[in-house]
Amino acid sequence: MAIDANLITGTLEAAGYRLTGPRRTLAELISREPGYFTAADLVAATGSADPAIGRATVFRVLELLSQLGLIERLDLPSGERAYLSCEPSHHHHVICSRCGRAADVADCGLAQVADEMGRRTGYRVAAHRLALFGLCPACQGQGGQP
């Protein structure tokens, strides 16, 4: 789920980080992404938005934002690595395997399932990661895969 650029810059500022030009540009670019994006996508977008911004800076900002919970790294079934901007709260993602659009979704009882799985295996479960893949409402109308 795309988020507002102001939420990114505001969160950065609130966390005591400086609000620099490259960070504003990247916040804008990331907030404009409707679905997931790869590192290569963002580096390319950054290059055309402001060629002065370096690759290292893009990765630094990605790491910073993922620390702040504003973006999440996710791994597609294809093995690709992607990033997804999202609200900084515990939730999961449903990702359209056709257009890449993603929706946030709340726990919906997953916590109990995780507890049950922990009970059965004897593990003390501390964290879980769930990703759902399928077709978004828009792509269902058109059928098929990319």
Partner DNA sequence: GCCCAGACGATACTCGGTCTCGCGAGCCGA
Partner DNA sequence: TCGGCTCGCGAGACCGAGTATCGTCTGGGC
The residues binding DNA (CB under 7 A) are 13, 17-23, 38-40, 43, 52-57, 59-63, 73, 79, 81
Cα R_g (the chain), whole angstroms: 17
Give the one residue of 51, 77, 144, 146 binding a second copy; rule: CB under 8 A: 77
| Of 47, 80, 73, residue with least CA distance to 26 | 47
Least gap, CB of 21 to a second copy (angstroms): 28
**Pairwise CA distance, residues 15 & 9, whole Å:** 10
Q: Would you say 20 or 112 has its CB closer to DNA?
A: 20
Q: Would you say 16 or 141 has its CB closer to a second copy?
A: 141
Q: Is 146 in the site for a second copy (CB under 8 A)?
A: no
Least gap, CB of 130 to a second copy (angstroms): 5
Which element (helix H / strand E) includes 74? strand 71-75
The contacts of residue 35 (CB under 8 Å, 6+ apart) are 84, 95, 96, 99, 100, 101, 102
Q: Is 40 in the site for a second copy (CB under 8 A)?
A: no
Given CA atoms 33, 44, 5, 9 in this order, what sign does their dihedral have?
A: positive
Residues that bind a second copy (CB under 8 A): 73, 75, 77, 79, 92, 94, 96-97, 103, 105-106, 108-110, 112-114, 116-118, 120-137, 140
